């Protein structure tokens, strides 16, 4: 209560109260219809979400299968009624996240009805205006190269003012056939020819082919046809749960396949580190809000440590036979000293990467270098698909003849190239990763050293690697052992849950109902009436 509690009381009904509470007539602005702007994720004609979006040069978005029949019939722009051609349409490329939401691929912001959205006219890529501002600071863009799809600060597009609606144009187009979409005769022939070769086409493929054909007819420059994406072949990896126990003695699996198997397992998560999505979204507006932290999945290097540690603890070595045009050499790979470098070299040999390559560099009393597909020392790719870090170990160095080491162009730039020493080269310790040595066929090295060289330290006589044969691969053996143990553990756990196999009746006995647990402590409400 208070002294001024009646100061807001009125002896009349206001205009707002009369309209809302008493059924009064609402205000009208000279008989104009309500302003209604188009949604960025819907077709401006059908008002339904699009699947193959295209836009007019003024930035109005349409579904391709809806706008094509209209333009073919009326030859006009449905927005303003100006003459229009199919070749004037611009194909848009929206980016979607895992939840199917449209977002800017540069800033990461999710689009909504208040976002300022633009598109590049030449490529059709869709970004937020913030990203355009950032790109403009790096590389100058003219405003003529961008199309404004949605600007909340200047809502100048009113669907009710569109020419097609005010003129009462027919917007219900039913195609005569399943895929022709009221095409011309020349377009139908083109479509039928493509359909025979590739089957039913998607709207995206239809747009590419029709657009190309129309541009040819109108005498304009042809665009490069974007072929519909071919379905990727799914890589099939061995599932350890479907293998029979015991595993065959010759069972081997590639490390890359093992990593893929581990990535598919839900329990393959880090023990202490989280994904950081909750804290990241709390401090950044560009990230999707997350309200729960989860332990992150292990990366490739952390998965590799599972079998690297076993190789180190058991001190397992790898063995390779290198056949060249001058003879054979037996190589011992110190996988326990340099596990990642050893895996790179052995797996490249398994994939026959080195077969047919030449030794492109030879310096007497120093070393001979090979492993480059280009043959000039500038090429080569590692087994991991990128350059990897150095691994130095005090027990192996460049202190004698026959040391196998990695060639590089600097720190942590290892690839596929390697070299073999002709003598002590201790100045290379700490600069190149020594990971193996020649244990048989050192006389072949002496023959290589005696070959004269020409400009650029290239041998006058070609020395080629005929074949690199892996005699012992500790990585695949250890991985097979890990999978075998995992198979036994998972099978045992499954039997415990189901109460044994279907031939075992131990788990089929009737279980006695559990008696309620009693306690000597007083129970709350013990003397209350039930």
Annotated catalytic residues are 361, 366, 369, 408, 419, 428, 432
3-state helix, strand, coil in the chain (%, to 5): 30, 20, 55
Non-local (6+) Cβ contacts of 464 within 8 A are 324, 325, 356, 357, 358, 359
Cβ proximity of 206 and 66 under 8 Å: no
| Half-sphere CA count of 415, side-chain side, radius 13 A | 18
The total number of residues shown for the chain amounts to 530
DSSP letter at 78 equals T
Is the N-terminal amide bond of 402 cis, ω within 30° of 0?
no
Sign of CA dihedral 432, 437, 441, 443: positive
Cβ proximity of 111 and 102 under 8 Å: yes
- Rounded (5°) CA angle 293-294-299: 130
Cα separation of 497 and 60, whole Å?
59
Non-local (6+) Cβ contacts of 501 within 8 A are 495
DSSP letter at 512 equals P
CA distances from 376 to 286, 380, 415 (A): 46, 10, 14
Closest by Cα among 314, 369, 312, 313 to 340: 312
Q: Where are the alpha helices (DSSP H) in 355-473?
A: 442-449
One-letter-per-residue 3-state SS of 18-45: HHHCCCCCCCCCCCCCCCCCCCCCECCC
CA distances from 88 to 58, 76, 234, 367, 503 (A): 11, 11, 38, 64, 71
Closest by Cα among 394, 388, 395 to 413: 388
Cβ proximity of 67 and 54 under 8 Å: yes
One-letter-per-residue 3-state SS of 445-487: HHHHHCCCEECCCEECCCCEEEEEEEEECHHHHHHHHHHHHHH
Cβ proximity of 152 and 28 under 8 Å: no
Q: Determine how many CB atoms are found less than 10 A away from the CB of residue 154.
A: 9
Provide DSSP, 252-279.
---HHHHHHHHHH-TT-EEEEEE--HHH
């Amino acid at each position: 209560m208070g002294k001024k509690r009646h100061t807001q009381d009125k002896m009349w009904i206001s205009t707002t109260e009369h309209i809302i509470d008493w059924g009064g007539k609402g205000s009208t602005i000279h008989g104009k219809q309500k302003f209604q702007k188009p949604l960025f994720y819907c077709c401006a004609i059908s008002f339904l979400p699009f699947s193959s979006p295209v836009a007019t040069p003024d930035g109005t978005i349409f579904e391709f299968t809806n706008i094509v029949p209209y333009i073919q019939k009326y030859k006009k722009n449905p927005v303003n009624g100006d003459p229009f051609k199919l070749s004037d349409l611009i194909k848009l490329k929206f980016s979607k996240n895992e939840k199917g939401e449209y977002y800017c691929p540069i800033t990461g912001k999710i689009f909504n009805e208040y976002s300022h959205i633009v598109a590049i006219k030449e490529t059709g890529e869709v970004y937020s205006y913030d990203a355009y501002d950032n790109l403009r600071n790096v590389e100058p863009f003219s405003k003529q190269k961008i199309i404004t799809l949605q600007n909340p600060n200047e809502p100048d597009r009113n669907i009710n003012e569109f020419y097609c609606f005010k003129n009462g144009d027919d917007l219900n187009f039913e195609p005569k056939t399943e895929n022709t979409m009221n095409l011309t005769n020349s377009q139908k022939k083109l479509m039928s020819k493509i359909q025979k070769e590739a089957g039913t086409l998607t709207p995206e493929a239809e747009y590419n082919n029709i657009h190309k054909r129309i541009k040819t007819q109108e005498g304009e420059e042809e665009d490069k046809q974007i072929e519909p994406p071919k379905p990727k072949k799914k890589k099939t990896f061995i599932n350890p749960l479907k293998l029979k126990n015991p595993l065959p003695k010759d069972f081997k699996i590639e490390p890359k396949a093992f990593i893929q198997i581990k990535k598919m397992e839900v329990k393959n998560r880090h023990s202490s580190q989280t994904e950081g999505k909750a804290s990241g979204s709390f401090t950044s507006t560009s990230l999707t809000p997350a309200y729960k932290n989860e332990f992150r999945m292990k990366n490739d290097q952390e998965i590799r440590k599972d079998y690297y540690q076993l190789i180190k603890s058991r001190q397992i070595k790898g063995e390779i036979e290198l056949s060249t045009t001058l003879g054979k050499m037996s190589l011992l790979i110190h996988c326990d000293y340099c596990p990642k470098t050893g895996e790179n070299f052995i797996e490249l040999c398994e994939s026959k990467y080195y077969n047919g390559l030449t030794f492109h560099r030879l310096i007497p009393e120093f070393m001979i270098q090979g492993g480059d597909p280009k043959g000039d020392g500038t090429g080569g790719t590692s087994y991991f698909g990128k350059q990897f870090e150095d691994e130095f170990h005090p027990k192996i160095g460049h202190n004698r003849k026959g040391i196998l080491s990695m060639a590089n162009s600097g720190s942590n730039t290892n690839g596929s190239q390697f070299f073999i020493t002709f003598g002590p080269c201790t100045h290379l310790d700490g600069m190149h990763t020594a990971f193996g040595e020649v244990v048989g066929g050192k006389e072949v090295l002496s023959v290589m050293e005696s070959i004269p060289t020409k400009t650029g330290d290239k041998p006058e006589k070609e020395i080629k690697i005929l074949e690199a044969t892996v005699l012992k691969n500790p990585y695949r053996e250890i991985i097979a052992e890990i999978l075998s143990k995992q198979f036994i553990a998972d099978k045992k756990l499954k039997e415990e849950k189901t109460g044994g196999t279907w031939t075992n009746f131990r788990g089929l006995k009737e279980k006695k109902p559990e008696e309620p647990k009693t306690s000597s402590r007083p129970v709350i409400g013990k003397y209350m009436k039930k």
